[in-house]
Amino acid sequence: MSASGPEETLRRKLLGLGFDSVGFARVSGPVRNGLEEWMAQGFHADMAWLERTAAKRRDSQLVLPGARSAILLGVNYWPGATAPTGADEPPGARRPFLARYAGYEDYHDTIKPALESAVRMVADCCGVGSDDSRYYVDTGPVWERGWAEKAGLGFLGKNGMLISRKFGNWMLLAVVLTRAELAPDVSTGDSAGPRIGRFCGKCTRCIDACPTRAFQAAGVIDARRCIAYQTIENKGSIPEELRPGIGTRVFGCDVCLEVCPWNRFARESRRLLLVAKPALKALSLREMLEMTPERFAEAFRRTPIKRLKLRGFLRNACVAAGNVIAADPVGDLIEPLRRLAAHPEPIVGEHARWAIGNIGGRKA
C-alpha cells in the first residue's frame, strides 16, 4: 500500500495518539473462531455472557451492520525490568502478586478517550460519518485476538494470548469496527480460523508452567482451572484443590505470559495511554488482609481490582496467606486471618478458616 494512502495516514495519526501497534483487517461474514466448541466442553465456566454474545463474536455484521474493516490497536503495558509477578518465585513466597496490567489505572477508562479520537480520525481520513464506526476495548462482543492476528499485530500463541513480535506478550487490545473500506495489512481469508502457535515451534513452556494445569491443549484453556478466572471472574468459592496452585496470587496470573521466550523483544511501555499505580506494589499481604471498605476504596480507586469488591479481594488474600510457607514465620498473618474467620461475608470466613487450617497443618 502507498505510504501516502489513507491507511498510512490513519496509522500515523493513531500511533500519535499513543497506541503502540496499529493494523487493518477486512471484515465480511462469520469467522471460525472455535468459540462454540470451546463452550460446549464447559471451558467457559459460568461466564454466561460469552454464550449470549457468541454469535456476535463470530460475525461482526451483527455488531455493526455494513462493517467492512476492523482497525486493531495495541497498547504495550510492559513496565520494564521490574520484579517478576510469580513465574520465577519459589512456591509459597511471601510477597503477594497482582497481574501486571493491574499495576495501572483501569485501562478500559484510560484508553477510551483515545478511541473516541480514533473514531473521529477515521471519519476525517476515510470520509465516513462518526456513526459508521464503533470502538471497543475488551468490553464488546468482538473477537479481538483473532482480528489482531488477521491485522498483523501478532500471532496466537499456545498460551491462547496474542503474542507480538515487537512487544512480546504484553499488549492490551482495542478495536474499531468501521464501514470504511481499508486495505488489510495481511492477506488472510475472511473466514479463516485461528492458527494456534504457528511461531511457537516445539516450545510448551506456557503449558508446562501453569500451576493449576488449566491447559487442555495448545491454546485451549479450561477457565475452571485458570487462576485468572478463579481470582477475578469467579464470584463464589475457589475450589480447594486449586488453592495451593494459586500461591500468593491475589489478582490474576501472568505465569503463562512470563515464561514465553518471545518476551525477549519486550520493551518498556511509553505509558501514553496508561497511568501507573506504583503504590500497589508496596502493599504487604498483611495489609491486604486488614483492608477495610474505606481503605479498599482508597487503594484501588480507578484500578481494575475494584471490580473484585472487598469480599472477593479478601477471599483471594486469604488463599494467598494460606499458601505462605516462606522461612519467615507466618504468625503475623494468623491474627488478621482469625478476625476474617468471623467476617460477616460467609465466603471470606470460609477461606480464612481454610488458610488457618492450611498453615496449622503444615506447622504440625
Residue 108 CA, distance from chain mean position: 11
- Averaged pLDDT for residues 210-228: 97
Q: Which residues pair with 155 in a beta bridge?
A: 163
d(CA 318, CA 308): 14
At which residue does the C-alpha cell 513496565 appear?
A: 79
Name which of 50-54, 163-167, 259-263 the model is least confident about.
Answer: 50-54
Looking at residue 279, its pLDDT comes to 92
Q: What is the pLDDT of residue 5?
A: 79
Residue 166 confidence class, pLDDT cut points 50, 70, 90: very high
Report pLDDT for 1. 43
The model's pLDDT over 112-146, given as tens digits with 9 standing for 90+, comes to 999 999 999 999 999 999 899 999 998 889 989 99
Quick one: pLDDT at residue 332?
86
> Percentage of the chain with pLDDT > 90?
80
Q: Is the pLDDT of residue 253 over 80?
A: yes
Kindly tell me the sign of the dihedral angle through the C-alpha atoms of 235, 238, 239, 245. Answer: positive
More confident residue, 89 or 70: 70
The pLDDT score that the predictor gives to residue 2 is 42
> pLDDT band at 288, cuts 50/70/90?
very high
* Chain centroid, CA 319 distance in Å: 21
Q: Which three cell numbers stand for residue 288?
A: 491486604
CA distance 253 to 211: 10
Between CA 194 and CA 59 the distance in angstroms is 15
Which of 109, 138, 208, 332 is catalytic? The answer is 138
191 pLDDT more than 60: no
Task: Give residue-wise pLDDT tens across range 6-43.
Answer: 899 999 999 999 999 999 999 987 888 888 999 999 99
Residue 232 DSSP symbol: I
Is a pLDDT exceeding 90 seen at residue 169? yes
Mean pLDDT, to the nearest integer, of 234-242?
97
Q: pLDDT for 330-349, tens place per residue?
A: 678 999 999 999 999 999 99
CB neighbours of residue 294 within 10 Å: 9
- pLDDT at position 139 is 82
Radius of gyration of the chain (CA): 22
Rounded percentage of the chain residues whose pLDDT exceeds 70: 91
Instruction: Please give the pLDDT value at position 82.
Output: 61
Strand ranges of the sheet holding 133-136, from the earlier edge strand across to the other edge: 21-26, 69-76, 171-178, 133-136
- Answer whether residue 192 shows pLDDT above 90: no
Is 41 buried (19+), middle (13-18) or exposed (0-12) by CB count in 10 A?
A: exposed
Predicted confidence band of residue 90 (pLDDT cuts 50, 70, 90): low
Find out whether 179 and 227 touch, Cβ atoms under 8 Å. Answer: no
The pLDDT score that the predictor gives to residue 28 is 82
Amino acid of residue 168? G
Q: What's the pTM value of the predicted model, to 2 decimals? A: 0.91
Look at residue 226 in the predicted model and tell me its pLDDT. Answer: 98
Report how far residue 53's alpha carbon sits from residue 3's, in angstroms, rounded to the nearest whole number. 37
Confidence label for 88 from pLDDT (cuts 50, 70 and 90): low
pLDDT at 237 exceeding the cut of 70:
yes
- Whether 221 has a pLDDT exceeding 60, the answer reads yes
Q: Among the residues of 18-106, which ranges form H helices? A: 35-40, 48-52, 54-58
57-61, 185-189, 294-298: lowest mean pLDDT where? 185-189
Q: Is 332 a catalytic residue?
A: no
